[in-house]
Amino acid sequence: MPCDVNGTLVDQASPGFWLCPQCGRVISTGGAVVARTDPTLVDLGDRPAAWPGRGFSTPGIGRAWLHLPTGSAGLVGVRAHHDHGPIADQSARLLDPMPRADGDPWSPRTAADVDAALDRWGWRVISRAEAATRLLAAGYQLGTNRSAGHLLYADDLDDTTWRPRDAGHGLEAFAAPTEPTR
């Protein structure tokens, strides 16, 4: 995408620099990488940066999240830890924070709002058991050592989708494209 030397998107047809929304590199027309931005912060208008499966290390699976106090939501990609367990990769924002009523500690957003946002981009929430099947097929190992910080463990597989996270301040669920990735 056309950008300036700092990675800020521009409308010019030939600005001299191009931003890769998948990795965040700013590339000159000569092919040299001149800067690197955080691809999760790139504003692509109505499409989140690093949208899966193009920007995620493991296409075809991600973990959706909803922050209950603010109502913001996103989708985190999956990559392999050194022990081949699934850990968080890049993320894409699905929903920006929204105002809440005076005195209310929680945003009015729900998991259904995140489901709808995922659906608009061709994704759906899947069970933890289906997430495990996808991860194992992609070569991941699911252990039980929680100190590793993995996204999913072998002793925590069932048919649930949305679960509490962050001491009850958020919700999380696994998600997958509605159409198979290539």
Looking at the predicted structure, is the pLDDT value of residue 50 above 50?
no
State the average pLDDT over residues 133-142.
Answer: 94
The DSSP element (H or E) to which 136 belongs, if any, is: helix 128-137
Q: Are 177 and 77 in contact (CB under 8 A)?
A: no
Looking at the predicted structure, is the pLDDT value of residue 54 above 70?
no
For the segment 97-135, what is each residue's pLDDT rounded down to a tens digit? Answer: 887 778 888 889 999 999 999 998 889 999 999 999 999
Beta-sheet strands, E only, within the chain: 2-3, 17-19, 25-28, 33-36, 43-44, 47-48, 62-67, 73-80, 86-95, 123-126, 163-165, 170-177
The per-residue pLDDT for 60 is 85
The per-residue pLDDT for 4 is 75
pTM: 0.70
Q: Which candidate, 141, 142, 134, places its Cα nearest to that of 63?
A: 134
| Secondary structure class of 19 (helix, strand, coil) | strand
* Whole-number Å distance between alpha carbons of 45 and 22: 15
Looking at the predicted structure, is the pLDDT value of residue 57 above 70?
yes
Give yes or no for a cis peptide into 53 (omega within 30° of 0): yes
Looking at the predicted structure, is the pLDDT value of residue 181 above 50?
no
The per-residue pLDDT for 100 is 78
Q: Which candidate, 140, 166, 164, places its Cα nearest to that of 152?
A: 140
State the average pLDDT over residues 149-169.
Answer: 91
State the average pLDDT over residues 54-63.
Answer: 78
Q: Which candidate, 169, 170, 133, 132, places its Cα nearest to that of 151?
A: 132
State the average pLDDT over residues 176-181.
Answer: 72
Looking at the predicted structure, is the pLDDT value of residue 51 above 60?
no
Burial class (CB in 10 A: 0-12, 13-18, 19+), 120: exposed
* Whole-number Å distance between alpha carbons of 17 and 92: 23
| Secondary structure class of 116 (helix, strand, coil) | helix
% pLDDT > 70, the chain: 81
Q: Which amino acid is at 100?
A: R
Using the structure block, give the residue that is written with the tokens 């296409």: 59
The per-residue pLDDT for 66 is 93
